Amino acid sequence: MIAQIVEKNDQVVYRFLEILTASVRWAVLLFPIWLGLLAPKFTVFLLTFFAVFWVYLAIRHSFGMIIGYFRFKRELKVNWYEKCRTLDFKTLPDKETLPPSLKETKHFILIPAYSEPYEVFKETFDALFNQTFPSEQITLVITIEEKYAERIKENITKALGDRINRLERLMIYVHPAGIPGEAIGVAGANRTWGAKHAIEDLKNAGVNLRNYIFTTMDSDHVLNLQFLARLTHLYLTSDKRDNKFYSSAVSLFDNNYWKVPTLMRIEATSILMGGLSDWVVSHKGLKDTFSNYSSSLQTLIDANYWDVQIGIDDTVFFWRAFSARNGDFIGVCHYIPYSADAVEGKSYWGSYKSLYKQLVRWGWGTVSVPISLREFLINKKIPFRHKLLWTIEHIKKYTFLVNVVFLITFGFSIVSLVNPYIKQTSYAYSLPNIMSTILTIPLIFFIPATILKLKIVKPMPENWPLWRKTFSLLEGPMVLVNLLTFSFFPFLEAQTRMLFGRKMKDLYHTPKVR
């Protein structure tokens, strides 16, 4: 009954879910005001609970970072291609989705391009040809936006050089501008164009698509030399291959890590450490796709590629596959890294401006909430447990985590301002000191985070003066500044736009600087 109502009034229901998602965020953000007037004692209790829970998360994720780091070091020591060669295909699971042999196991690598300089492609291709997995088993698909197509083709040809013949095949497509209904600036439309045309051409060539592992990556992604071998081993040894996506837990943004301003490094480190710990401590089924991910090529087809109308692509792909598999779709990870560019502008302040615009675009990923909730209402085949767990995860990710630092920093002052009565209570005198003590505890965990960061990212430049090296070692606490600025306002702006129905149809493309 509910499914029929939703399908009949699809646009109305979806718009309601957009408003609901953004309204909940604003309601929680403003609760020190409205709840502070109605129930000040309970408001103070909630703020205290948030502070304690924040400390719990800091401790939990610190242990996750440490465990993840040791897994990262352990996997780097393994010769993954040799392990692939020793696999007995007769004993591997799910024969119907298994390639016949390692020789017939192929990679379909999709890279969308926009206006990248030659140097970016050169670094990416060099890493691709340095893989321990044979390049002769790689089909490289590059899909280019029309605006700069001729220049980008020249850059690609120059960067590849005479190595093209070392690939199974190279396929280049130009995505036309101005296709009706497509969001402008989102890579999903470009990816969809290239992937569809490449798959059609492969079908016409008579190849077996079942033998291909699909990976999408950005043009600046520099793969560790064991990346494809580790991915191959993980894919071949997994059961229910079509019901999983495969991702590295170690997303390094260190191509230019020591060149960018401090907060750019803070953001890059946060993504690295947050992703590393998340894969360790989070529920295995509650991870969605981000930036660089893989699946069977058949899963890409069954998910019907990406949504070309919505201004976000990475997380939306997960929900399309989740829907196609009726909720039976999860992520599995390995710990072989890839490197990407941290946000960098052509000037110091240009970097900050570029970072803000990129994070507004990432904040638009909130659309995955109404998309998934609508699917929960329509699709009866998705188990109720999955619907419940994902709804809780949405609340935690898009409501609690984006608000908690602001609330525990300013919440008590706001309550005291709107309801002076609270100052007259006995606990009003002791609570600020208690909160200060609670919030000091997470500062301790910046020490292991800094140590692990320096062990994972590229080495600090040797020619840096001592004062600069010292400052970079002490920049950890600036995470709090980032949490109150770049990890707060861009996401709030994106959700507020969604609240008022201002669709992001022309998205900012983060330039690659060399």
At residue 438 the predicted structure's pLDDT band, cuts being 50, 70 and 90, is: low
Q: Three-state SS string across 184-203, please? A: ECCHHHHHHHHHHHHHHHHH
- For residue 379, the 8-state DSSP code is -
The answer to whether 217 and 338 have CB atoms below 8 angstroms apart is yes
pLDDT in tens, 30-53: 999 999 899 888 888 898 889 888
- Give the least confident one: 16-30, 50-64, 329-343, 418-432: 418-432
386-400 exposure pattern, b = at least 16 Cβ within 10 A, e = fewer: bbeebeebbbebbbb
14 in any annotated domain: no
Work out the number of other CB atoms within 10 angstroms of the CB of residue 128. Answer: 26
435 in any annotated domain: no
- Give the least confident one: 168-177, 432-441, 484-493, 496-505: 432-441
Phi, psi of 248 (to 5 degrees): -80, 140
What CATH number should be reported for the domain holding residue 309? 3.90.550.10
At residue 233 the predicted structure's pLDDT band, cuts being 50, 70 and 90, is: very high
Phi, psi of 245 (to 5 degrees): -115, 155
Domains in the chain, number: 1
Amino acid symbol at 119: E
Residues 111, 227: Cα–Cα separation, whole Å: 16
Average pLDDT over all residues of the chain = 90
What pLDDT does 430 receive? 62
What pLDDT does 188 receive? 87
Distance of CA 220 to the CA centre of its chain: 15
Work out whether the CA dihedral 194, 144, 122, 255 comes out positive or negative. negative
Report the pLDDT averaged over residues 207-227.
Answer: 97
Q: How far is CA 319 from CA 40, 338, 375, 398, in A?
A: 40, 24, 9, 16
The answer to whether 50 and 438 have CB atoms below 8 angstroms apart is no
Residue percentage of the chain with pLDDT more than 70: 94
What pLDDT does 423 receive? 65
pLDDT in tens, 107-127: 999 999 998 999 999 999 999
Residues 510, 514: Cα–Cα separation, whole Å: 13
Instruction: Assign 332 to helix, strand or coil.
Output: strand
Report the pLDDT averaged over residues 189-213.
Answer: 96
Report the pLDDT averaged over residues 179-186.
Answer: 81
What pLDDT does 93 receive? 96
- Stated as kind and residue range, the H or E segment containing 125 is helix 118-129
Strands 222-223 and 338-339, by their bridges, are antiparallel
231 in any annotated domain: yes
Amino acid symbol at 497: R
Beta bridge partners of 73: none
Higher pLDDT, 429 or 62: 62
Q: Three-state SS string across 262-291, please? A: HHHHHHHHHHHHHHHHHHHHCCCCCCCCCC
The answer to whether 166 and 128 have CB atoms below 8 angstroms apart is no
Beta strands in 368-477 (DSSP E): none
pLDDT at 132 exceeding the cut of 90: yes
Report residue 88 as tokens: 């007995």
pLDDT at 190 exceeding the cut of 90: yes
328 in any annotated domain: yes
Strands 222-223 and 293-296, by their bridges, are unpaired
* Crossing angle of helices 368-378 and 10-29, rounded to 10°: 130
Q: What is the pTM of this model?
A: 0.93
What pLDDT does 54 receive? 87
Alpha helices for 419-465 (secondary structure H): 427-444, 446-456
Higher pLDDT, 46 or 335: 335
Residue percentage of the chain with pLDDT more than 90: 65
Burial status of residue 459 (CB atoms within 10 A of its CB: 0-12, 13-18, 19 or more)? exposed
Higher pLDDT, 59 or 141: 141
- Give the least confident one: 146-150, 211-215, 506-510: 506-510
Report residue 22 as tokens: 């953004």
38 in any annotated domain: no
DSSP string, 212-276: EEEEE--TT-EE-TTHHHHHHHHHHH-SSGGGEEEEES-EE--SSTTTS-HHHHHHHHHHHHHHH
pLDDT in tens, 47-94: 888 988 888 888 899 999 999 999 999 999 999 999 999 999 999 999
418 in any annotated domain: no
476 in any annotated domain: no
Domain of 120 in residue numbering reads as: 102-341
pLDDT in tens, 389-419: 999 999 999 999 999 989 988 988 898 888 8
131 in any annotated domain: yes
Instruction: Assign 401 to helix, strand or coil.
Output: coil
